Structure 1
Amino acid sequence: MADANRPDVAEREPGGDLGPQRPAGSLRTTSENAGRNLKEWLKEQFCDQPIENCQDTRLHDAAYVGDLPTIQKLLQEDSFQSRINEKSVWSCGWLPCTPLRIAATAGHGHCVEFLIQKGAEIDLVDVKGQTALYVAVVHGHLECVRILLEAGADPNGSHHHRSTPVYHAARVGRADILRELIKYGANVDVNHHVTSATSSPTFRPLTCLVVCPLYISAAYHNLQCFKVLLEAGANPDFNCCGPVDIQNFSRGSAVCIMDAVLRHGCDKAFVSLLIDFGANLNLVKWETLEEGAPGRIRVNSEGMQMFKEAKSCPRRLMSLCRVAVRRGLGKCPLHLISALPLPDPIKKFLLHEQ
């Protein structure tokens, strides 16, 4: 769904394609049946029990309102314990969800924790491919996010859903949630290779800039998230893994993160961070920065000036060394830099703390 404040960054929810358009005159005759039939179809496809056996939604309703005593009482019964992972259409809505998914959506951490203790499967997905962790991130429930991650939830969400917890946290500016996801191993780069369970990865070169966590944090001017992602080892040029075919990028489109930052008129602090973290300034061609260039949104004059000055001067040797060391360590060990047997000033330098 496109954000009203950012018309230049369009997003569509999975399944958001409206499909073929019906004639206007047919809408009235089908609208009433459409809602009922969709609800029945969802029940048939995604409820673990037949429709006639899905009427007792007390466990789901208790999870929605955060009624832990009722959940504890119900789960003493074998019938409810055996249905703890049932995706039921509950009385407060018609999206088939598990009790854990519902509690995570509503932000009831104590219920989330208890349901996990009683055997709720953490990474089950709903009809939209969303995990309990993803919806907890979407609704900004930091406590639920921590509980789910500590219990072993996949910090990258589900491959059935094209958004990820990291992407959403970066988009809405929740640096606190982003740090938790990264702490538990979330991938801050996007892997654009097409993979399947039966085939090896297809190494298709990237031919356009991916709307990735680093990009989206810049587009929404979320500086803290932008910094957290770079500190965690996000690729400062493309924020993705795999080969890149920059020669086949669309003419006039952003060719790297720095180009996107300049086009979105980001504050010079964004430019400074990319420079510090080793972005390749030569990827941005002068002709793409001329006045009236296609795809231009707005330009921050201070940010542009900082970029031009940095591009015209050679990088400092200390800066090059820091970039080389960090890249040599890779992403996963970056948080272990503080434990290295090095003098504190060097560790702080490698961690960009000075």
Structure 2
Amino acid sequence: MAGASNPGVPEPGSPGDLGAQRPSGGPSTTSGNAGRNLKEWLKEQFCDHPIEHCEDTRLHDAAYVGDLATIQRLLQEDSFQSRINEKSVWSCGWLPCTPLRIAATAGHGNCVNFLIQKGAEIDLVDVKGQTALYVAAVHGHLECVHILLEAGADPNGSRHHRSTPVYHAARVGRADILRELIKYGADVDVNHHVTSVTPNPSFRPLTSLVVCPLYISAAYHNLQCFKVLLEAGADPDFNCCGPVNIQGFSRGSAVCIMDAVLRHGCDKAFVSLLIDFGANLNLVKWEDPVEGALGRIRVNSEGLQMFKEARSCPRRLMALCRMAVRRGLGKSRLHLIGALPVPDPIKKFLLHE
């Protein structure tokens, strides 16, 4: 369901485009004069240099259209080389961005690669807190994502933006981009908004289910991404790294990933995966859809039946052993399972293959 819209699911942060947005409360862009005024305002507020020094936007324009030859020629001049990380309002848009951010948004991998080689700062954020990697992921440019990660870009994006590359890839169903991010060390449970507002995990118990990549992939019914995240060590019970006040949850609010999967009417394959990866089935307190006040979303009957059967039976010893080994290794070392001195069938079992 890539790109699907789900008004019932919160989205931390909007992806943004090459410059169509305007600040809240700013002037309207419906007329030519208003549009020009907005552009001047953005220049005054966000450009790295005085307005009169930002008029030559050839470097930014070339990054937008993917004109590598022009970028190469311009960067031979000291004046343009010194502006390689300049956030300028260029002629093709309004949002102040660096050439690297523009090229990554447009999907020009060759330009992204060359700009990095010439000294472009990889993790520099735009005025919305978005990195070049984030916008490349948002616009589905796998090649640019790979180039940026290979060059050392932070796979988790920026703490100044509420969303993350992993979250967005999970939301739109881009398992290929998700795998690439995970390969370079992305945290599959990260939630910048929660960690930024509650730096101390034990500071305040949460009273709502935190929207994380695993949750959002289920909400949009992206099974492949859901599986990729769990295989990479995503917490099947993720809510927050701190305490959770379930009693404080509003009626009808999901309290864990399994609860959310059932409420969103996900296929039984989602339930099966959560069971296999060790979700705590006792966190779900309701017994049927009516008692749970599940709202407008219809529960998948097969998924609900699978959940009830699993909760009524103890887990097998082999499953408990696999869960214990994977938790002992931790997310950051799951990739080492293949190097364990155990027979291949056991490795495949630990990897859920």
TM > 0.5: yes
Q: Secondary structure at the match of 1:63?
A: helix
Q: Determine the structure 2 residue equivalent to 1:181.
A: 181
Contact 2:12 2:163 in 1 (8 A): no
Q: Determine the structure 2 residue equivalent to 1:167.
A: 167
Report the alpha carbon displacement of residue 12 of structure 1 after superposing the two structures with TM. Answer: 6.4
Alignment of 1:2-17 (within 5 A): 5-11=5-11, 13=13
Which AA in structure 2 matches 1:161?
H
1:18–1:82 distance in 2 versus 1, CA, 3 Å: closer
For structure 1, the residue ranges without an aligned partner over 5 or more in a row are none
Q: Determine the structure 1 residue equivalent to 2:228.
A: 228
Aligned residue-pair number: 344
Distance of 2:157 and 2:9 partners within structure 1: 22
Q: Determine the structure 1 residue equivalent to 2:290.
A: 290
Q: Determine the structure 1 residue equivalent to 2:317.
A: 317
Q: Determine the structure 2 residue equivalent to 1:219.
A: 219
Contact 1:190 1:240 in 2 (8 A): no
Q: Determine the structure 2 residue equivalent to 1:152.
A: 152
Report the alpha carbon displacement of residue 4 of structure 1 after superposing the two structures with TM. Answer: 6.9
Q: Note the alpha carbon deviations across 1:233-277, whole angstroms, 9 max, x for none.
A: 111012542322222222221111001101111000000000000
1:263–1:341 distance in 2 versus 1, CA, 3 Å: same
Report the alpha carbon displacement of residue 63 of structure 1 after superposing the two structures with TM. Answer: 0.7
2:111 aligned with 1:107, yes or no? no
Which AA in structure 2 matches 1:103?
A
1:12–1:194 distance in 2 versus 1, CA, 3 Å: closer
Contact 1:193 1:202 in 2 (8 A): no
TM normalised by structure 2 equals: 0.90
Which AA in structure 1 matches 2:86?
E
TM normalised by structure 1 equals: 0.90
Contact 1:166 1:188 in 2 (8 A): yes
Q: Percent identity?
A: 85
In terms of mean alpha carbon deviation, does 241-250 or 67-76 score higher? 241-250
Q: Determine the structure 1 residue equivalent to 2:280.
A: 280
Report the alpha carbon displacement of residue 341 of structure 1 after superposing the two structures with TM. Answer: 1.4
Higher relative contact order (CA 8 A, sep 6+): 2
Q: Determine the structure 1 residue equivalent to 2:305.
A: 305
Q: Secondary structure at the match of 2:124?
A: coil
Q: Note the alpha carbon deviations across 1:153-189, whole angstroms, 9 max, x for none.
A: 0111111110100000000000010011111111111
Distance of 1:119 and 1:18 partners within structure 2: 30
Q: Note the alpha carbon deviations across 1:200-253, whole angstroms, 9 max, x for none.
A: 666322221011111110011000100011111111012542322222222221
1:88–1:130 distance in 2 versus 1, CA, 3 Å: same
Contact 1:219 1:261 in 2 (8 A): yes
Report the alpha carbon displacement of residue 124 of structure 1 after superposing the two structures with TM. Answer: 0.8
Report the alpha carbon displacement of residue 288 of structure 1 after superposing the two structures with TM. Answer: 6.1
Q: Determine the structure 2 residue equivalent to 1:128.
A: 128
